[in-house]
Structure 1
């Protein structure tokens, strides 16, 4: 007995069903594998971000520690310049005491004059 057209259709539909079932199983495996890989990548990415943030925090702390030293260096340099300026002024006063007294007197007189005229305007 030869197979009828109906038998052939049923056979082909059965084969198609089996292939669809295999395709669904393969798709499920692929999704499961993709989720696993994505989870692994997410964990690796999270670890990398944490490491970068930790490195950034350490670099920031190091910069703050060095900032204090840099500030001290700047203050020391300013203090040295101030001492040099005072020494220079003292040397000038020793070399020319009368001229220094005259300049100081004139500056005091001008400041007093400005202070009096500023008070009269009010």
Structure 2
């Protein structure tokens, strides 16, 4: 028996259908692979973001701890300057008691005058 043209057409259409089915299967597999790879990349990216945020928090905490030490240094420096100023004033009073009394009296008089003029 010789195959008829319609038999040949049916055969080719059947082959085309098989190839189309295989192409759809391959495309689905490729999409699943891409989705899986994208999911893996998202998980890695999420882990990296979390690690970076944790590092940021640790650096911020370390900076805050250092800020306390810096504040203590500044307070100590100010206290030293205050002590030096008091020592200088005490030495000046010992060296020139009358001048110191005069300056203190004048300063008190000016402050009292300013306070009275602010009440009006």
TM-score, normalised relative to structure 2:
0.90
Which consecutive residues of structure 1, in runs of 5 or more, have no partner in the other structure? none
Whether 2:81 is the aligned partner of 1:81: answer yes
CA distance in 2, matches of 1:81, 1:93: 18
Farther off after superposition, 110-119 or 1-10: 1-10
Partner in structure 1 of residue 55 of structure 2: 55
CA RMSD of aligned residues (A): 1.4
Secondary structure at the aligned position of 1:70 is classed as helix
Secondary structure at the aligned position of 1:3 is classed as coil
Which consecutive residues of structure 2, in runs of 5 or more, have no partner in the other structure? none
CA distance in 1, matches of 2:70, 2:105: 41
CA distance in 2, matches of 1:78, 1:88: 15
Farther off after superposition, 91-100 or 13-22: 91-100
1:60 Cα deviation after fit: 1.5
Secondary structure at the aligned position of 2:22 is classed as helix
Q: Deviations over 1:83-120 (max 9, x none)?
A: 1111111122222221111111111111112222222x
CA distance in 1, matches of 2:47, 2:117: 72
Partner in structure 1 of residue 5 of structure 2: 5
1:5 Cα deviation after fit: 2.8
Secondary structure at the aligned position of 2:3 is classed as coil
Q: How many residues align?
A: 120
